[in-house]
């Protein structure tokens, strides 16, 4: 039986926002500046190529050779994006773990660049490689069974096996992700890159953990939609009507002039806040639940700085 409340854990992100408003404001401001800087760099490096690739993807009539050639031209940008994403998530995951597990270390808004962040990068890489390996093995088995089913019983049997196999692969990936969900918190708490230790700690709690994570994701989506509604309203006022909101959800990155429109600036201003809120809401339940389980099921005392 689980020693924690899935619903309480799912809402811990909101509690953290309430207890640390200045920290959230600092994170949002930094994320906004960083987002603008990365967008500017992306446009400078490969703005026209990226716009061309998006147009080709939308038309659905480009040949595989053309798509591969375009991906080759975008390879440097993809490499930069991968490194940036790894660095960003390493810092943010460390900060979320720090605000939950070490609430007294509030200097610099819980943000650091040190060994904790490097270890988060390591556990991110290992966890994703493990998930990728599980996915490839599951898909390989699924493809073999599908082929056998089609050969033995034709399209009807193949369709049934295909549907069952798809659901099975999805469930396996979700189960594995839940069992590894404490890897970041354990790595932060122990000071050692740990992946498989999460498997032992989550034993017997998969259902409750999945419920907490799903509820947190739903809350994150609701917050995102609410803020985007506000962004759309402000953008409509700035652009002089709804007709000027064309670049709100799909910004034009072909040039700096096309990107930094009035609507684009409004979107950028709120981008940092959206990112910070959704990060706290979605990623804070895992270290919170880990802390509860490691303390024997006792709810930790709230601490705000």
The answer to whether 86 and 125 have CB atoms below 8 angstroms apart is yes
Distance CA 285, CA 218 (A): 13
pTM of the model: 0.82
* Structural domain boundaries in the chain: 6-294
pLDDT of residue 61: 63
pLDDT of residue 300: 46
Question: pLDDT tens digits for 132-141?
Answer: 999 999 888 8
pLDDT of residue 209: 93
Q: Which residues of the chain have pLDDT under 70?
A: 1-2, 47, 51, 53-64, 66-67, 70-71, 149, 151-156, 158, 235, 238-254, 296-305
Question: pLDDT tens digits for 16-44?
Answer: 999 999 999 999 999 888 888 888 888 87
pLDDT of residue 222: 93
Q: What are the C-alpha distances in Å from 264 to residues 90, 249, 252, 255?
A: 27, 9, 9, 12
pLDDT of residue 304: 35
User: What's the full length of the chain, in residues?
Assistant: 305
pLDDT of residue 1: 45
pLDDT of residue 301: 40
The answer to whether 145 and 164 have CB atoms below 8 angstroms apart is no
pLDDT of residue 229: 84
For 227-231, the CB contacts below 8 A with 24+ separation are 227/270, 227/273, 227/274, 227/277, 228/270, 228/274, 230/270, 231/266, 231/267, 231/270
């Amino acid at each position: 039986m689980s020693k924690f409340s899935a619903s309480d854990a799912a809402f811990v992100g909101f509690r953290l926002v309430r207890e640390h408003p200045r920290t959230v404001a600092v994170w949002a401001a930094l994320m906004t500046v960083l987002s603008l800087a990365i967008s500017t760099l992306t446009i400078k490096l490969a703005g026209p190529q990226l716009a061309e690739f998006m147009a080709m993807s939308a038309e659905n009539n480009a040949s595989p050779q053309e798509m591969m050639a375009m991906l080759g031209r975008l390879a440097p940008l993809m490499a930069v994006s991968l490194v940036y994403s790894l660095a960003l998530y390493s810092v943010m995951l460390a900060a979320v773990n720090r605000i939950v597990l070490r609430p007294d270390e509030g200097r610099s808004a819980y943000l650091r660049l040190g060994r904790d962040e490097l270890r988060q990068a390591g556990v991110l890489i290992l966890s994703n490689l493990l998930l990728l390996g599980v996915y490839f093995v599951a898909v390989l088995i699924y493809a073999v069974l599908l082929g056998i089913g089609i050969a033995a019983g034709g399209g009807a049997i193949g369709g049934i096996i295909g549907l069952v196999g798809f659901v099975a692969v999805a469930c396996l990936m979700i189960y594995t992700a839940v069992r590894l969900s404490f890897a970041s918190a354990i790595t932060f708490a122990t000071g050692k890159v740990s992946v498989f230790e999460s498997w032992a700690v989550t034993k017997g709690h998969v259902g409750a953990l999945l419920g907490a994570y799903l509820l947190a994701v739903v809350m994150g989506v609701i917050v995102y939609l609410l803020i985007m509604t506000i962004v759309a309203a402000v953008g409509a006022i700035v652009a002089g009507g709804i007709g000027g909101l064309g670049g709100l959800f799909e910004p034009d990155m072909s040039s700096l002039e096309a990107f930094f429109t009035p609507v684009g600036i409004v979107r950028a201003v709120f981008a940092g806040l959206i990112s910070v809120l959704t990060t706290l809401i979605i990623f804070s339940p895992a270290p919170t639940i880990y802390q509860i389980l490691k303390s024997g099921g006792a709810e930790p005392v709230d601490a705000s700085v």
